[in-house]
Amino acid sequence: MKNLILAAAVMALTAGGALAQTVRMGTEGAYPPYNFINDAGEVDGFERELGDKLCEMASLTCEWVTTDWDGIIPNLQSGNYDVIIAGMSITEERDKVIDFTQNYIPPAASAYMALSADADVKGGVVAAQVGTIQAGHVAESGATLLEFATPDETVAAVRNGEADAVFADKDYLAPILAESGGKFVWAGEEVQLGGGVGMGIRESDTELKAKFDAGITAMKADGSLNELIKKWFGPDAVTY
Amino acid sequence: MFAACADPSLIAGPEWLLCYLTTGKHVDFYWSFLTVLILLAVTAPTALAFGFGGAMAARSPILPVRLVGKGYTAMVRGVPDIVFFLFFVIALDQGIEWTVHQIRCPDWIEPIRQGLEFRVCPQAKVPQGSAPQSVHELYGFALAVLTFALVFGAFAANVLYGAMQAVPKGQLETAEAYGMSHRQVFRRVLVPQMWVYALPGLGNLWMILIKATPLLFLLGVKDIVYWARELGGAKTSAYAFPHPDWRLYYFLFLMAFYLCMTKLSEIVLSRLSARLSRGQATAAGEALRRAAA
């Protein structure tokens, strides 16, 4: 009886859902200019514009959802959304658990940002966001890794003197450095990590992956992707 | 919100601040206070109901029922909240989807578990993938309420169990001597008297519940702490209102909010305690009697 009531309630809750394909786009919303929540409370940034364009090209209805970075892969796997589009670099390790489309941002540099150019990035304390390729790199570099849940906190740690430097995508740090009024400077050397940024998709979702792959190929061919990269990351950004 | 706020780079001072504090994002922040208050308002009675059920089961003369009651409190109390919040919600969510899957897609042949993936047929997704985001949020909120109620219900069950044991045996025996049935004794004598013993413990739980609401973010509900962190973080000019790290001010504001909630709760609880002690055979009840005489 109880099961029957439960089932009935569930049916009522889910009835009427048309089969028009809605794709839920999962992002972090805390990594400008890749993705962030703008002042109107909406997801905004390079990936919002790119994602909307790709959905339009594949005639999909897309809905944006945000989640914390730490749980972004498990939430994809349990089906809370269908795509990760969150500045996620394609790495072998991640490719084992989820699938990636081809990259939509070419492999770009990661950089150290510190309060002084001679900060010790090899032996000092370096902040990075948890679960990123940069965090993995710091752990192997010999520096003491200080991990934070959000990118903003990694920068704050350097500002407060908690860490000697922060290690992240250069494109993320560049606007912060430019607007710090000389407080922040680059330190150490730039490092090339990962195979570019791609969209993460469940391994079983081959059809969706093909659709987005086709869209990215088309945008690469007609140059609109390069324009979009330049618009959000500045004229010096690496393009295709 | 205001017409003057259309281009924030042109305004300064108090006007800028006013515009800043009324952005869509800040409105979301203000709504999240309501989310937390609603969560408290819904969870507290639900948890109390769970607790009452648990305490009754733990006192049951029937062994299996008693085991269920005791098992519930022991299990939930023994597992750290955060583990429970991470595990139980996923298990519940997948359990519901699995059930719907069995009903709606009996012909589905692909395995539901593929490695780490959990994949049911699209019709069995709860809520449906095509449902608006608000439905997803409501569903997440409902899961949150249930999880909070289950966790705090277990603690409440233990408090109520203790309170029921604390009611003087003589009271119950006297009631039985008057010819009342077990059920009547429970309803007329035991329950009305136990509240005064349960109140300090329940008051504690309420306070802990208020402070536990930031766990909401683990369940995907954007609560006040999430928004304070998000809004307070340093903002570059990618945003319309760039500002340095203002988390301190946002968290001070939250502290004021939580302190107000705590103070308010203390006032209500002490009044409730006085009200419940009236006519009771306890020291507090005795003091009330003397004061009145």
Interval B251-277: pLDDT, tens: 999 999 999 999 999 999 999 998 888
Shortest distance, CA B269 to any CA of chain A (angstroms): 37
A181-193 confidence digits (pLDDT tens): 889 999 989 999 8
**Complete edge-to-edge strand list for the sheet that includes strand A185-192:** A144-148, A125-129, A165-169, A109-114, A185-192
Mean pLDDT rounded to a whole number for chain B: 89
A59 touches B42 (CB < 8 A):
no
B111-129 confidence digits (pLDDT tens): 888 777 788 887 888 888 7
pLDDT value at residue B7: 81
pLDDT value at residue A10: 47
Mutate to test the interface with B, among A19, A24, A39 (most CBs of B within 10 A): A39
Partner-chain contact B240 A38, CB within 8 Å: yes
B248 touches B234 (CB < 8 A):
no
The dihedrals phi and psi of B253, each to the nearest 5 degrees, come to: -60, -45
- Using an 8 Å CB-CB cutoff, list chain B residues near A39: 23-25, 239-241
Nearest CA in chain B to A174: B236
pTM for this prediction = 0.82
Give the Cα separation of A191 and A207 in Å (integer): 34
pLDDT at B185 exceeding the cut of 60: yes
Query: Would you place residue A35 in the very low, low, confident or very high pLDDT band (cuts 50, 70, 90)?
Result: very high
At A201, which amino acid appears?
A: I
Give the Cα separation of A31 and B223 in Å (integer): 20
| Angle B229-B234-B236 from CA coordinates, rounded to 5° | 135
Asked if A226 reaches chain B (Cβ–Cβ under 8 Å), the answer is: no
pLDDT at A199 exceeding the cut of 70: yes
Peptide bond into B14 cis (omega under 30): no
Name the burial class of residue B288, with classes exposed (0-12), middle (13-18) and buried (19+) by CB atoms within 10 angstroms of its CB: middle
- Using an 8 Å CB-CB cutoff, list chain B residues near A25: none
pLDDT value at residue A16: 38
Mean pLDDT rounded to a whole number for chain A: 88
Q: Is the ipTM of this complex over 0.85?
A: no
Give the Cα separation of B222 and B198 in Å (integer): 33
Query: Would you place residue A84 in the very low, low, confident or very high pLDDT band (cuts 50, 70, 90)?
Result: very high
- Using an 8 Å CB-CB cutoff, list chain B residues near A171: none
Mean pLDDT of A135-144: 92
- Using an 8 Å CB-CB cutoff, list chain B residues near A2: none
- Using an 8 Å CB-CB cutoff, list chain B residues near A40: 23-25
Query: Would you place residue B4 in the very low, low, confident or very high pLDDT band (cuts 50, 70, 90)?
Result: confident
Mean pLDDT of A39-58: 93
pLDDT value at residue B216: 82
Residues contacting residue B257 through CB under 8 Å, at least 6 positions apart: B33, B224
Output the CA–CA distances (angstroms, integers) from residue B165 to B38, B49, B81, in the order listed.
Answer: 33, 18, 27
**Taking the mean position of all CA atoms in its chain, how far away is CA A162?**
25
Residues contacting residue B198 through CB under 8 Å, at least 6 positions apart: B159, B160, B162, B163
Find the length of chain B: 293
Partner-chain contact A97 B118, CB within 8 Å: no
Asked if A203 reaches chain B (Cβ–Cβ under 8 Å), the answer is: yes
Mutate to test the interface with B, among A10, A11, A76, A233 (most CBs of B within 10 A): A10
pLDDT at A116 exceeding the cut of 80: yes
